Structure 1
Amino acid sequence: MLRAGVVKRATTLADGRELLYFDDPGTTLGPERAIDSRVLDARGETATMRLDVLSGDWITVAANRQNRVMMPSADADPLAPQSATNPSEIPSLYDVAVFENRSPSFGPALADALDGAPAASNPPRGLDDLEALGLGRTRTSVGRCEVVCFSPEHTGSFGTQSVTRARTVIEAWADRTAALSSLPGIEQVFPFENRGEAIGVTLPHPHGQIYAYPYVTPRTTRVLESIERTGADLFSRILEFEQRSERVVLRGEHWTAFVPFAARWPLEVHLMPHRHVADLAETTDAERDELAPLYLRLLRGVDALYDTPTPYIAAWHQAPVRRGRDSVRLHLQLTSPRRAADKLKFLAGSEAAMGAWAAEVAPEQGAARLRAAVESIPEVRA
């Protein structure tokens, strides 16, 4: 159930993909939305996953993503509301909109061929099947990829939104986390925002994405292994350790932002709830109410570090659907390769090939700079 006065309205696009409108509380938009009258090709076949037997990682081969739109002008923005000259993905003016990606890495087919999508010919057969090693193993990339539009405006990011709009997006994230987690074949749900061309963003429109994976991701698998070796209260101990350090950037009643002890990136900050919650769907009204302005202030502090907006990946790590629910804690990991106003960190041989990182910025130094930047930002109010 949606909270904070947010209203969800469901419809479908011309090719059968789901489109959801999330209306702000007190929205000026009416309840009726235009029908998508475009003539679109049928949805393509689902991508295929191949197993890397050396690492145990599944690699999706999604050739349909080669032809994505690259940095269009405002009058050709595929995430803007449709107009007479722009046959975009969203038929009506909106506050927040969520729809199935037209060029997904996972899906559109699920194991039971929901919503008329083509049936998966070789779906995963559970986690035990996906964890088995062997040469030449393939599976259909069942799952779902969604686009989350934070605003109908052509440019911006999450950090440029109002508190009310940020709260609506948080409701959308929580709603979609619960809905996608309940779909057959889904093992983990990941909301994230890519910001900036240096990250590889292809659209300037303020938006993020949500991936629903058919497996537990490699990063989370490593976290589960660490929890097994050190104890189920690992995240609680991490939070207590960081809160006692000089690396805290921002702290509220329900959330703490900190630069982690072993930060890899020149700019890296984590945001963690004070109590254990497995995902955004488990957060309370009070936690969501505080998260909206606190997260906005953190992002605006990131942008206050330099004269131009900073590229970043904002990744909401959530517990898998069926594993580690009592031990893997929801947390945000925001990372940027920007190490100076005009310099980026590139992953060279040791880091890219071997995963052996070398940090150029001491975490304490990075925390001090970011904390000062955040403190320069007035408290964000509705």
Structure 2
Amino acid sequence: MSNLEFTHRRRNQLTGDWVLVSPHRNNRPWKGAAEASAAAPTADHDPNCALCPGNTRANGEHNPDYADTFVFANDFGALIPTQSDSAEISAEEELFTAEVANGECRVICFSPVHSKTLPEMTQAEIGKVVDTWQQHYSELSASYNCVHIFENKGEIMGCSQPHPHGQVWAHDHWSSEIAAEDRNQQLYFDKHQSALLADYVDREIAEQVRVVIDSAHWLVVVPFWAAWPFETLLLSKDPVASMADLDAGQKDDLAGVIKELTTRYDNVFKCSFPYSMGWHNAPKNLDSDSHWRLHAHFYPPLLRSATVKKHMVGYEMLAESQRDLTAETAAKILRDVSDIHYKKG
């Protein structure tokens, strides 16, 4: 579908949610509130950083002098493997429904270098991160049905720790996003006998207007239903449903795609581009995962500059998402910037 330069709504096929698109609002004289631009760290090692090699964390444990990635159980994890014997909830209360939630939270340090974010790492170094994602996904999915691998980058996204790192949260229950995506992918599969995201990949490649990166095994698009200004969807072009399914060639290609995408992000406003990103894998306790396709979401908040962000408030919180910049325009901006990091230009 070509660019729609009039007010309209688009449906997110994965979740069933809608987004209101209002291109004419780009002509508003008010350009949004400016946020303070956090200075990116420049030192290779910070003696006060809880994630740097050799340093001591808040719980008294010492980090090893790691050379690539380093993983540890989150010292303040939102989930714990076992609850106390008193953690019992009645299932009979309709208006106050709750359930016990067990799980594990881990932290993944991407690099021993304090100032080195993903776009400034080599493809081989990012490949170590991909290997670590796969290793810990495989370990945790042996015990839990739902495993979330994600990264919050930048203070503007609530990340108080500038050392490059991500997290893994694993639990038995299906998170709300996974449940919605599973439901809609299954409905599509039942109707068409093909995977929703497999067909979506084919359509996006055919149309090209929202494609940012097209590699041997991966496709990056600004999805038709994008809510955040420069939101992207990273999709496997191969029929894989989880991180555990990736072979060496797919992982190496993925490392290159992540480097290119995050570099393009940084180059849009010549800054360390903040975002929240995360992988969506098929739940482990499905009878069949034929309707699933492994994918990752990138949700960056920046709108018009390094200090002007999109605020999801008011109508967005109480009604549905709204955006001004069309997905097609955002994709063109990302395609047109260099894939060589601006610091190396």
Shorter-chain TM-score: which interval?
0.7 to 0.9
Contact 1:156 1:204 (8 Å CA) reproduced:
no
**C-alpha distance in 1, partners of 2:85/2:147?**
20
**C-alpha distance in 2, partners of 1:240/1:200?**
36
Taking structure 2 as the reference length, what is the TM-score of the superposition?
0.78
**C-alpha distance in 2, partners of 1:76/1:124?**
42
* Alpha carbons of structure 1 residues 312 and 120: separation in structure 2 relative to 1, 3 Å: farther
SS of the counterpart of 1:74? coil
**C-alpha distance in 2, partners of 1:74/1:123?**
44
Contact 2:50 2:57 (8 Å CA) reproduced:
no
SS of the counterpart of 2:253? helix
Write out per-residue CA displacement over residues 272-303 of structure 1, whole angstroms, 9 at most, x where no aligned residue.
Answer: 11112111110111101111112101110110
SS of the counterpart of 2:181? helix
**C-alpha distance in 2, partners of 1:124/1:191?**
28
Q: CA deviation at 1:308?
A: 1.6
* Alpha carbons of structure 1 residues 317 and 83: separation in structure 2 relative to 1, 3 Å: closer
Q: CA deviation at 1:152?
A: 1.4
Residue type of the alignment partner of 1:171: D
Mapping 1:1-382, distance limit 5 Å: 74-83=46-55, 89-107=62-80, 109-110=81-82, 119=84, 121-122=86-87, 134-183=94-143, 186-231=144-189, 232-245=194-207, 246-323=209-286, 325-341=289-305, 342-354=307-319, 356-375=320-339
Normalized per residue, the structure richer in strand is: 1
5+ long unaligned stretches in structure 2: 1-39
5+ long unaligned stretches in structure 1: 1-70, 111-117
Contact 1:78 1:88 (8 Å CA) reproduced:
no
**C-alpha distance in 2, partners of 1:284/1:179?**
17
Q: CA deviation at 1:158?
A: 2.1
Aligned residues: 293
Residue type of the alignment partner of 2:333: R
Contact 1:302 1:374 (8 Å CA) reproduced:
no
% of aligned pairs identical? Answer: 26
**C-alpha distance in 1, partners of 2:259/2:265?**
10
Taking structure 1 as the reference length, what is the TM-score of the superposition?
0.71
Q: CA deviation at 1:164?
A: 1.6
Residue in 1 aligned with 2:6? Answer: none
Contact 2:195 2:291 (8 Å CA) reproduced:
yes
Residue in 2 aligned with 1:30? Answer: none
* Alpha carbons of structure 1 residues 156 and 207: separation in structure 2 relative to 1, 3 Å: same
Q: CA deviation at 1:94?
A: 3.3
Residue type of the alignment partner of 1:76: N
Q: CA RMSD in A?
A: 2.8
**C-alpha distance in 1, partners of 2:182/2:67?**
39
The structure whose RCO (Cα within 8 Å, separation 6+) is larger is 2
